[in-house]
Amino acid sequence: MTLATLADVLQPALRQGYAVGGLVTLGWEDMRAYVAAAEAEAVPVILQAGPSCRAHTPLPVLGKMFRHLAESASVPVVAHLDHGYTLEECREALDSGFTSLMFDGSRKPLAQNIDETAAIAEMTHAAGISCEGEIGFVGYSGGESSAGTDPDEAAQFARETGVDAMAISVGNVHLQQESSAGLDEDRIRAIEAVTAVPLVIHGGSGVPEAQRRSLARGTSICKFNIGTELRMAFGAALRDAVNRDPERFDRVQILSETHDPLVDATRTVLRAFGGGAQ
């Protein structure tokens, strides 16, 4: 069994200069392909259940799916709650077998974010699992605007919450379908100068691949969340499979044809982060 916590996979990444992919799942087909890709690249992987995933499949089911995949995997697999917004939701994920909880208090005042994240971190550590928090606010493409992370606030947040990983806002945006101009590396350097915790980039699909590669190797960024980019790869493969034979109706047969293209796309993403058999 290779079920791991977030700290289990991020601390070696921090020491050795690579990053781990936090891959946003929506169902069995993508999570299965993500683990297959991680095994092919000989790297750990973080399977993430975000709000849209949880709206489709209950947390207790997702926990069993993640753990089932981890039990037979040849690489470490983290079962991660992405963007948990309440104590109750985080506790349900813990009770469902998740090994890492990301509590998102980024829309709240700093003191409240710190207090609530610290409570979640205390709960997770008592259970032997990990906690990720967010300081600053990572916005959404076509939606809410970002608020960049202040380095002094980041230092306070890391110190007072005890999180195992800290998501920061440095020009990254959720749901980005095309690469942006890149992240604010000066702000990243300022944050890592005053913190020792592994840093996380949400909205990693919008970060140019070359910058992902360099940041994974040369900074404290140890986790890139990738969702949109791989959802687009899955959607393209599904569209091809459906259009190949309009008479087909068996969804198991159709969905099976998304596996190899999604594995290939995921391997490309993971390879840029380093840490595997290069």
3-state class (DSSP) for residue 167: strand
Q: What element of type H or E holds 132?
A: strand 130-135
Do strands 165-168 and 20-25 pair parallel, antiparallel, or not at all (unpaired)? unpaired
* Closest residue by Cα to residue 204 from 148, 263, 136, 270: 270
Which helix (H) or strand (E) segment is 94 a member of? helix 87-95
Residue 238 near residue 254, CB atoms below 8 Å: yes
Residue whose pair of structure tokens reads 């360099």 in the numeric block: 214
Catalytic residue among 30, 82, 104, 150: 82
List the one residue out of 119, 84, 116, 118 whose CA is nearest residue 100: 84
82 noted as active-site residue: yes
The angle subtended at Cα 206 by Cα 217 and Cα 116, nearest 5°, is 80
CA 188 to chain centre: 18
The contacts of residue 126 (CB under 8 Å, 6+ apart) are none
Residue 9 near residue 37 (C-beta atoms within 8 A): no
CA distance 13 to 11: 5
* Polymer length of the chain: 278
With contact defined as beta carbons under 8 Å apart, do 74 and 37 qualify?
A: no
As annotated, the active-site residues are 82
